[in-house]
Amino acid sequence: MPGEKTEYFNCVLCSKRTKPKERRRVDKNIRKYLRKRFLLESKGNSVICGKCRNIYYRDVSNHTSSATPTCCSTIQKESLAPSSTTDNRKHLSSPPSVTLDLKSTAKTHAYCILCKKPVPKLVVVSPECRTAVFVEHNILIPSGNRCCPVHLKDGRFTNDAIHQLPTTEQAFINRTTILSLLQQMRFLCHRNEKSHLDFDDLQTLTDADYMALLGLNKDNFQTVCDSLKHQVKQTPSRSLRKSVAIFLCKLKTGLSNQILSILFRTSKSSLRRAAASVRKAMLTSFVPQSLGFAHITREEVINGHTRQLAQTLFGNIEKNQAILVLDGTYIYTAKSNNFHYQRRSYSMHKGRPLVKPMVIVTTTGYFVSILGPYLADSKNNDASILHHIIKTNAENIRSWVSEDDIFIVDRGFRDALPLLADLGIQAEMPCFLEKGQRQMSTDDANISRLVTKVRWVVESSNARIKRWRYLDKTLPTNQIPFIGDYVKIVCALSNRFSPPLNKSTEEDEAEAVKMLYLSKQVNNLKQTVEENCLNRRSIQWQAVHECDIQNFPTLDEEQLRDLTCGTYQLKLSRSYIQEHIEGECDIFFHKDNERLLKVKIQSRHTSSKQYFVWIEYSECTVNAWYCTCRAGARVVGRCSHIAAIIWYLAKGRHEGKRYGVRDWGEHVLDAADIPPTIDDSDSDVSSCESVPEE
C-alpha cells in the first residue's frame, strides 16, 4: 500500500538483498560460525543467502575432524588451510564487518571525494596515496575512490586537499581492506628499515658503494672484519661489520658524527665507542702485519718493491742496496688553547698549526713505515726529525738499514746528510741554486732531474693518504693523540689492498741508461746563446706565426714522452699554450738559421716574470733546447716551458685551438675592473642649462 515502509532482507554476510527463495534463517550454528570466523554478531531475524550458506557448509565440512577452535587456533588453521578453502574464500565477498573509530571518507567512484563533482575525467586514488594519507593523517580512504586531477601533485594529495577531505568518525572495514593495510604497513616498515646503511646484509650495497663509502671492496672489507673478530666487542645493536664500517666510513668520507649517526641509525655516543674499539683493534691485529720495519725485510724490499730504474740510476746490484724515499707530510689541526703547544705546532711554512708524520716508502710507493707525528716549529724540520729517528733508533731502524743503502730525500734534509754519511748511507738530493745565481748549471740540473725521476713517488704516496678525507680536514684538538694511529691504519690498508703506484717495466733499465748518458752531456745550445748574446740582440730575430712554421717535425705522444723523460711536463703543456694563444707571446726565428726558434712564455707562478725559450730542430726531431728558467739548462728531459712549445708545434696545433682549459675568471668579479669616470664636460647634456626668466 502507498506510504507503507518496504522491508529489505540483506544477507548478513555479503550484504546483498535476498529474494524470498534464496533467503535462509541464521540458526545458532551459523551465528556461532559468523562470530568466530568474521567477528559478526547477527540478530534474531538475520538471514543469509543460499550462496553464503553453501560456503558455510563446505567450510564446516573441511573442519569436522577438528574440535571447535579458539581465535588463535582459527587464525593458525586458516593460514594452514588447503587450497580448496582458499578457493572458497575467493568466491566469498568481503562485506563491512568491523566498525572502528577511524576517520574515513565515503565510498564512491561516481564523483570526486573532495568537491563532489561528477567530472568525467576523474582519477583513481592510488594505493600509495591512500596509505600515505592514512599514515600521516589517520584518514582511511576506501579502495576505488576517485578525485579530480587538480587535487593531486606528483601522485599525492596537496595540503589544501587534505584539509578539505570530508570524513566520518567511524569506518566500516572489511577483511580485504585490513589485509591491504597490513601489507602496506609491512612494506613501509621494511623500506624504512633498509633506508640506513646496512653492511650486515651482503646484498644491500654493491662493490662500488663499498669503495665510495669505505675505500675497500666487499672482499677486502670482509678480510678486515675477519682479522678483528676477536678484538671488537659486538652488541645487540652494533655488529662487527657495522662497527668496522663506521670507522672506515669516518676516515674515508670525513663526515661528522652527527651525519654518520643518521646514516647508520645509531647514537653519537655509540658511534664514538665503535670507532675507538675498531681503532685499538686495528693497531694491535692489523697494522703490525702490514706496516713498520718489523713487518718486512730488506730482501723483500729489494726484490719486490724496488724499481729497476732506481737501481740503475743510483744503485749497484753487487752491493744489494735498499732504496728508500723519505718525506714529511702534514696533518692540519685546530688552534689549541694550550699556548705552549700552539707555538710548537705552528708551521711558519704553511702558516697554520699542524703535525708532521714522517713517511718512508719504497720506489714503488709501498709504505715501509710511518713515524711520528712530530711538532711543526723550527726545531722539527725534516732534518731534525730524521736525526731524532736515527738517534732514538725508532722501530729498530738502525738494525734494518745497512751500509751503502740509499735514501732519496729533498732539500729539507740537507742538515742530516753528515749523519747519513757517518752511517754509510748514500743520500741522493736535488741540487741547490748557488748564491748569486739565477739558473742551475747543466750538471746540477741534470742531477736534480735524476732525483726527481724517483722521488715523485713519495709525493703521490702522501696524496694517497689524503684521499681519506678525514685526514685532509682540519682535525679538532681532541683528535691529536690519535692522528698517528689514523695515518698508520690508512697506510696499512693501502699496503694490503691498493696496487703499487709504480711497477718495474721492461723499459726501465733502457730509460735509466739513457738518462745517465744524457746527464753527462753538455747543453750546446745554451753555450751558443750565451756566446753569441742571442738573448740580447733582438735585431737578429724575425717574428713569425705558427702557421708559417711548416717544416717543424710532427711527433706523437710516445716521441714526446721520450724527449721529456716523463709525463708531468706534458700535462702542463695545454695550460701553458692556452695562455700563450690568448696572450701576446710571439714566436721568432733567427735570420741566419730558420730552424732556430725563440719564444717568450709567461711564468705560471709570477705575473711579472717571463722566460725565453730557444729550440733547434731538424726535419725529423728536436735537436736542442734551452730555457732561461731555473732548471732550463738541463739535457735530461726538458722543463715545462720547453715541453709546452714543442708539444704545441709538433702536435697541439694540429688538433685545433681548443685545449680543454676553461677560464673560470669570467664567473668571478675583479675588484680592479672599474669603469672610467665620465667627465661632465664630455656629456651630451650641457652642464650650463638656461635658467627660465621669472
How far, in Å, CA of 105 to CA of 141, rounded? 6
User: pLDDT of 137-171, one tens digit each?
Assistant: 888 888 888 888 888 887 888 888 888 888 888 78
Looking at residue 688, its pLDDT comes to 43
pLDDT-derived band at 307 (thresholds 50, 70, 90) equals very high
Which CATH architecture does the domain made up of 289-497 adopt? 2-Layer Sandwich (3.30)
First to last CA, the chain: 105
Q: What is the mean pLDDT of the chain?
A: 84
Contacts of 22 (CB under 8 A, 6+ apart): 49, 50, 51
Which range, of 193-197, 206-210, 268-272, 492-496, averages the lowest pLDDT?
A: 193-197
Q: Is the pLDDT of residue 288 over 70?
A: yes
More confident residue, 537 or 282: 282
Q: Given pLDDT bands bounded at 50, 70 and 90, which one contains residue 4?
A: very low
pLDDT of residue 537: 66
Q: Which residues contact 47 (CB under 8 A, 6 or more apart)?
A: 9, 10, 11, 12, 18, 23, 24, 25, 26
- The identity of residue 558, as a single letter, is E
Confidence class for position 393, pLDDT limits 50, 70, 90: very high
Q: Mean pLDDT highest for which of 5-9, 161-165, 200-204, 515-519?
A: 515-519
- Split at pLDDT 50, 70, 90, the class of 90 is very low
As given in the structure block, the three cell numbers for residue 50 are: 543460499
Of residues 132 and 421, more confidence is placed in: 421
Q: What is the per-residue burial (b if ≥16 Cβ within 10 Å, else e) of 392-411?
A: eeebebeebbeeebbbbbbe
Cell output for 68: 571447535
pLDDT surpassing 80 at residue 507: yes
What average pLDDT does the segment 289-294 reach?
Answer: 96
Question: Residue 475: pLDDT band by 50, 70, 90 thresholds?
Answer: very high
What mean pLDDT comes out for the span 383-388? 96
Provide the pLDDT confidence category of residue 423 given band limits of 50, 70 and 90. Answer: very high
As a whole-number percent, the residues of the chain with pLDDT over 70 amount to 87
Bridging pattern class, strands 139-140 and 596-602: unpaired
Nearest to 199 by CA among 270, 264, 261: 264
Query: In this structure, are strands 352-361 and 323-328 parallel, antiparallel, or unpaired?
Result: antiparallel
Whether residue 272 is predicted with pLDDT greater than 70 in this model: the reply is yes
pLDDT score at 65:
46
List, in order, residues 6 or more apart from 1 with CB less than 8 Å away.
Answer: none
State the Cα–Cα distance between residues 282 and 490, nearest whole angstrom: 10
Does 50 have pLDDT greater than 80? yes
Mean pLDDT of 633-647: 90
Beta-carbon contacts of 317 under 8 Å, excluding residues fewer than 6 positions away, are 311
Q: What is the mean pLDDT of residues 507-511?
A: 88
Q: Which helix (H) or strand (E) holds 71?
A: helix 71-79
- In this structure, of 14-23, 75-84, 447-456, 593-602, the range with the lowest mean pLDDT score is 75-84
Identify which of 220, 305, 206, 218 has the alpha carbon closest to the alpha carbon of residue 497. 220
Q: What is the pLDDT, as a whole number, of residue 33?
A: 84
Name residue 475's beta-bridge partners: 333
Write down the domain spans for the chain. Answer: 23-91, 98-193, 207-285, 289-497, 522-658
Instruction: Band the pLDDT of 579: cuts 50, 70, 90.
Output: confident
Kindly tell me if the per-residue pLDDT of 193 is higher than 70.
Answer: no
Instruction: With a cut of 70, say whether residue 634 has pLDDT above it.
Output: yes
Looking only at the bridges linking them, the beta strands covering 406-408 and 426-428 are parallel
At residue 1, the pLDDT reads 46
Q: What is the structure's pLDDT at 194?
A: 56
Per-residue pLDDT, averaged over 47-71, amounts to 70
Whether pLDDT at 75 is above 90: no
Q: State residue 694's pLDDT score.
A: 39
Q: How far is CA 540 from CA 535, 547, 591, 626, in A?
A: 10, 21, 6, 18
pLDDT tens across 644-672, in order? 888 888 888 777 666 666 777 778 888 88
